[in-house]
Structure 1
Amino acid sequence: MAYTQEPVTISIRAKAGQRDLIDQAAERLGRSRSDFMLEAACRQAEDVLLDQTYFALDAKSFDAFQAMLDKPPAPTDRLRRTLGARAPWESSTAKPSATGKATGQRVK
């Protein structure tokens, strides 16, 4: 899916209490309502899409797969580079936090 760099409008309806809750949280983070809502929606969208990966294995293949998960290979430079790479939806200034979520801090 290609992402355009030009802003587009997204309109939603909310109850006053929902808007107030969002505004309170956004204010605590020093963010605008739009920025806060867009970041939260994109984070949820990423989680949904990443959780939808499915593959089927027979019992023997599953046991082999499980054994590989239980004994990961030793880290290599290539693995470190791969784990340090940004996902396509991450901004150039975002870096993963301890929870794996982008923090918005510039990577040095």
Structure 2
Amino acid sequence: MSERIKQRIVVRLTDDDKSMIEEAAAMTNQTITQFMVRCATERAADLIEQHPHLILNQDSWDRVMDAIDNPPVPNERLKRARERF
């Protein structure tokens, strides 16, 4: 960990979970903190990579926000769909 430690997360564990984490950390020659941070950050990176990101330019963003702030009046087709569901 070359970055300066700035944050803390408190985790509550069962005795079994703690024992398993301690054993795994020892097997990989890491401290419990190193092991938990590495596992959590690797999993977080995997999850973030799996989920698509939508990047909009300013004009597109403004149009989306305008549609949210000023939704169009429902037409007859939309009203019928609402009634069906």
Q: Partners of 2:25 and 2:16 in 1: how far apart?
A: 14
Which amino acid in structure 1 is aligned with residue 33 of structure 2? S
* Structure 2 segments unaligned to the other structure (5+ residues): 55-85
Deviation digits for residues 61-94 of structure 1 (CA, Å, limit 9, x no counterpart): xxxxxxxxxxxxxxxxxxxxxxxxxxxxxxxxxx
Structure 1 length-normalised TM: 0.44
Match of 2:17, SS state, is helix
Aligned residue for 2:79? none
Aligned residue for 1:38? 37
CA-CA distance at 1:9 after TM superposition: 1.1
Over alpha carbons, which structure has the higher Rg?
2
Structure 2 length-normalised TM: 0.55
Aligned residue for 2:11? 12
Higher RCO (Cα < 8 Å, 6 or more apart)? 2
Deviation digits for residues 28-50 of structure 1 (CA, Å, limit 9, x no counterpart): 01100011001000000000000
Q: Partners of 2:7 and 2:25 in 1: how far apart?
A: 21
Which amino acid in structure 1 is aligned with residue 41 of structure 2? C
CA-CA distance at 1:6 after TM superposition: 3.8
Relative to its length, the structure with more helix (as a share) is 2
* Structure 1 segments unaligned to the other structure (5+ residues): 56-108
Q: Partners of 1:6 and 1:32 in 2: how far apart?
A: 15
Match of 2:6, SS state, is coil
